[in-house]
Amino acid sequence: MCGRLSQYDGIHDFVAALSMPNALINNAGDQPFERYNAAPTTQLALFHQEGDSLRADMVRWGWRPHWAKDRAAPINARVEKVAHGPFFRAIWPHRAIVAINNWFEWVDEGEPKKQPYLIRHRDRMPILCAAIGQYPNAEHEPSEHDGFVIITADSAGGMVDIHDRRPVVLSPELAREWLDPATLKERAEQMVLMQGEPSNAFEWFKVDRAVGNVRNQGKELITPVGDILGGDEKGNG
């Protein structure tokens, strides 16, 4: 997964996609986010569950443990290692969902510059990405060390032609289970390893190369250039 995504809907659109009846502690505001070209270190709306409430905070995309000061903050965590490796041990219990509208990948098609593609749900519904992080809660005020990473898995089907890694995307039902503090760690690991949405839930298409510049924003960056494609395999991706 390349480090660029869109989060342009408002918080209530994402809450509706999660279908959680829980009370919302909203620290992310009520206006559309309009982040069409979000890069690492961007503050993005992140959901987690606090008691019986759903909480939304603006948290930086990217995190590293305090002892790893000599390396850049990762933005992703490989699902094959995240539950047992030492790097993310401190935040593995801190499960979250980052709801996005789409993400971007760049493909070498023999041109001087790689061609960007946009990947989104076929039904245009928000994409509920499994994440872990360090974020504010009742006992933890916002801190400069806060951040989150998106869990990624191998791509499958036609999506592998776009990129070999992709976010682990959960259905609303599984996203609610992922957020529930009562869900056991072993069950959470099984969910992200085995129950991510299949590639055939998505479609992808070329977009303008202007998305390559992080200073560019706007709806024109998510407009298709050419045909809309999609995976056609069955089963989990």
Give backbone dihedrals phi and psi of 68, rounded to 5 degrees, phi first. Answer: -110, 45
Positions marked catalytic: 2, 105
pLDDT for the residue 147 = 97
What pLDDT shows up at residue 161?
A: 58
Q: 117-140 pLDDT, tens per residue?
A: 999 999 999 999 999 999 998 888
Confidence of residue 164 (pLDDT cuts 50, 70, 90): low
Locate 94 and state its tokens.
């801190």
Look at residue 233 and tell me whether its pLDDT is greater than 60: no
Q: Which domains does the chain have, with CATH numbers?
A: 5-100+125-199 (3.90.1680.10)
Q: Which pLDDT does position 154 carry in this prediction?
A: 84
Per-residue pLDDT tens over the stretch 71-115? 889 999 999 999 999 999 999 999 999 999 999 999 888 888 999
* pLDDT digits 0-9 by tens, 30-41: 999 999 999 999
pTM assigned to the model: 0.92
Cα 213-217-222 angle, rounded to 5 deg: 95
Q: According to the model, what pLDDT value does residue 138 have?
A: 85
- Give 148's contacts (C-beta < 8 A, 6+ positions apart): 44, 46, 59, 60, 61, 62, 63, 96, 98, 131, 132, 133, 134, 135
Q: Which residue has the tokens 């076929």?
A: 122
